[in-house]
Amino acid sequence: MTVHSITTSDSPWVIDGSGSWKGNAIAAGDTFEIAAGTYAGRLKLTNMPGTVANPITFTNTGGQAIFTGNSTYTVLMDDNNSYVTIDGSGHAGTTYGIVCRTDQFKIEDRADNITVRYVEFDTSTLIGFRITQVSHITTPNTNITVENCWFHDVVTEGCYLGNNLASATDYILSDIIVRDCLFEDCGEAIDLNGCHGFFAFRDNTILRTVTGGIGALNAAIAVSNSGAAGINGYIERNWIDNCDENGINFVESDGADTETVWIQNNVFLNCGNGAATAKHDGIRIQGAGPTVRAVNNTIRNTGNGTDGRGIRLSETRHYAVNNIVIESDVDDISLAVGVPAGNATNNLTSDTTGGDATTRTTASIAFINEAADDYRLTAASPAVDAGTATDAPTDDYLQNTRDSSPDVGAYEYIAAVAILMSDYRRRRNA
């Protein structure tokens, strides 16, 4: 297993795993150490031959390695890359040791088992991180994880997980995970467009998304599958605060889909506060796709003053259970015509009229400190033990175990627990 060096003087930084780098053959288990400095161009990788036992790792050494791109990409994983880790934690004292500046990090065809961690994305021209498919092939891009990364000041999507092809048979992404990332001032944080299998967006902090996504689904988290069957997964334990448009916009058109997507244990604050038309909801679920269950979320202050719904359900396969939804401009929970009232149960809202008339209502939830965005429950809260165990997750936003009589909202009441503000608000990724 060889340790290769990459320096700023090695331009162009084009590495083909079927060959060699600087005279040394490339094999599974090799490590590439990227020296600190500014790389005025892109890093291009192809045919990386990692294995499950011996992945290939690219990491920084000596400080930050900053790639400024070539007007298109900063890092391009071009084709046929397997078991590769891009790890920016190689230098003590530098949290994000690999930086993608100006242009996007892009993964193209036939990529599997790729992990990207501790990378900073400051891509002012378009997208931060992108998975795409540019050829009509049947090999999926699969098992791709983005974790502990920082996305900021990205014009459009922080993460765009989709492809460039029109045929639904080409939408073959699967096992896509984004977790423990911080998104600040992006057009959208995450946009999933074309997944045939599992996905999970967990434990992310999303702050100040603005109108600017490529498609029409503008939201902090957008999911659109365009007819691809088999999507299933989780959007859970995310903190989403101050979005111009929807907190989550889920649109799936495949009525034959028998899978389930869970939106659970999230906190949504101040979503839909921009000027865009009809994009002012906390959780907006549309289309006759998989069963979607919005469970144990806390949602506050949704809308732009004239429009906004905390949760909007459009189909009979959509459910809202055990949620706290308060201070929405129109309805806290809105059910489209034909959606049974029983699809929204055991929710606590601040409205007594409107689309959420079938849910339990209360004027005060009795949070610990709402003014400080501490939405944990006091012992006096009507949310304590007010939920149903049906569909309730086993733990809460802080991963405390829920009991057999679960509470409503993202937090389970735990008596006499001291906790730092950074833990209950931003978790471990800020």
DSSP code per residue over 233-254: EEEES-EEEEESSEEEEEE---
Please name the amino acid found at residue 106. K
Kind of pairing between the strands at 309-313 and 283-286: parallel
Q: What is the dihedral of CA 252, 255, 257, 259, to 10 degrees?
A: 70
Spatial contact of 319 and 305, defined as CB atoms under 8 Å apart: no
Q: What is the rounded CA–CA span in Å between residue 134 and residue 163? A: 7
DSSP secondary structure code for residue 383 in this structure: T
Cis before 12 (ω within 30):
yes
Q: What is the pLDDT of residue 352?
A: 52
Type of residue numbered 366: A
Q: Which residues have C-beta within 8 Å of that of residue 82, sequence separation ≥ 6?
A: 48, 49, 50, 51, 111, 112, 113
**Can you tell me the distance from the alpha carbon of 142 to that of 110, in angstroms, rounded to the nearest whole number?**
8
Q: How far apart are CA 239 and CA 74, in angstroms?
A: 29
Structure tokens at 339: 């959606």
Euclidean distance between CA atoms 68 and 104, whole angstroms: 9
Residue pair 118/89 in contact by the 8 Å Cβ criterion: yes
Cα separation, 169 vs 176, in Å, equals 18
pLDDT (tens, 9 = 90+) of the chain, 430 residues, equals 899 999 999 999 999 999 999 999 999 999 999 999 999 999 999 999 999 999 999 999 999 999 998 778 899 998 889 999 999 999 998 999 999 998 899 998 788 999 999 999 998 778 999 988 766 556 778 899 999 999 999 988 999 987 655 455 555 688 999 999 999 999 899 998 877 788 999 999 999 887 655 545 578 999 886 555 668 899 999 999 998 889 999 987 665 567 889 999 999 999 988 766 567 899 999 887 788 999 999 999 998 877 889 999 998 999 999 999 998 888 899 998 889 989 999 999 886 544 544 566 666 899 998 888 999 999 999 999 999 999 999 999 999 999 999 999 999 998 766 555 445 555 544 4
| Kind of pairing between the strands at 20-21 and 24-25 | antiparallel
SS3 call for 34:
strand
Instruction: Provide the pLDDT for residue 207.
Output: 93
Burial 181-211 (b: 16+ CB within 10 A, else e): bbbbbbbbbbbbbbbbbbbbbbbbbbbebbe
Two structure tokens written together for 50: 């990692």
Query: Which H or E element spans position 206?
Result: strand 205-209
Helix (H) or strand (E) run with residue 361 in it: strand 360-361
The pLDDT score that the predictor gives to residue 357 is 45
pTM beyond 0.75: the answer is yes
Question: How far is the C-alpha of 413 from the C-alpha of 424, rounded, in Å?
Answer: 13
Provide the 8-state DSSP code for 49: B
Contact 183, 129 (CB under 8 A): no
